[in-house]
Structure 1
Amino acid sequence: MKTGNAVYGRCDCGHVWPVVYLPMRLDQAAKVMSRSACPKCGNAKDIKLAKAEEIAASMTEIDSRADGGADIVTKHTNIKA
């Protein structure tokens, strides 16, 4: 997964995610970053910039999911292929 063109946020719950992808006008990026909320828990306060180690750890966690979330989709019976 590409990390070089993104600004990552870190929530108090420990979730790390890309808040904005660059290039983007700085005023737009600042607006998006100031209004960001954690997609995992919904917290919109005290979102911090993620450190390089935290970003790397979150990428390792994503790569360790070999099925890519396919088990979640196949468990729902109301989804038609």
Structure 2
Amino acid sequence: MIDTDNDAVGHAFYDYYKQGKASTLWCNIKGVGDDIVPIEYFFRSYTDMPEIEKTALSLCSGLILDVGAGSGCHTLALQD
């Protein structure tokens, strides 16, 4: 169960997945700076992923642990 009171990202994911509400996440990436990410980005399909992600996924084999899976878009692509 997502604790939406204390988890802004989890709350945004929940709203998008369950209610179709789109949000924008403001991310601060250490060494890179601020970035604005539409919530839909985290729910993209394999065909919508950049080539570098597709290449990384193609190198996976065997049992995979997707740590910090977020919305699980990479996990779903690996299941296929």
Larger Rg over CA atoms: 1
| TM-score when normalising by structure 1 | 0.26
Higher relative contact order (CA 8 A, sep 6+): 1
TM-score of the aligned structures, taking structure 2 as reference length: 0.26
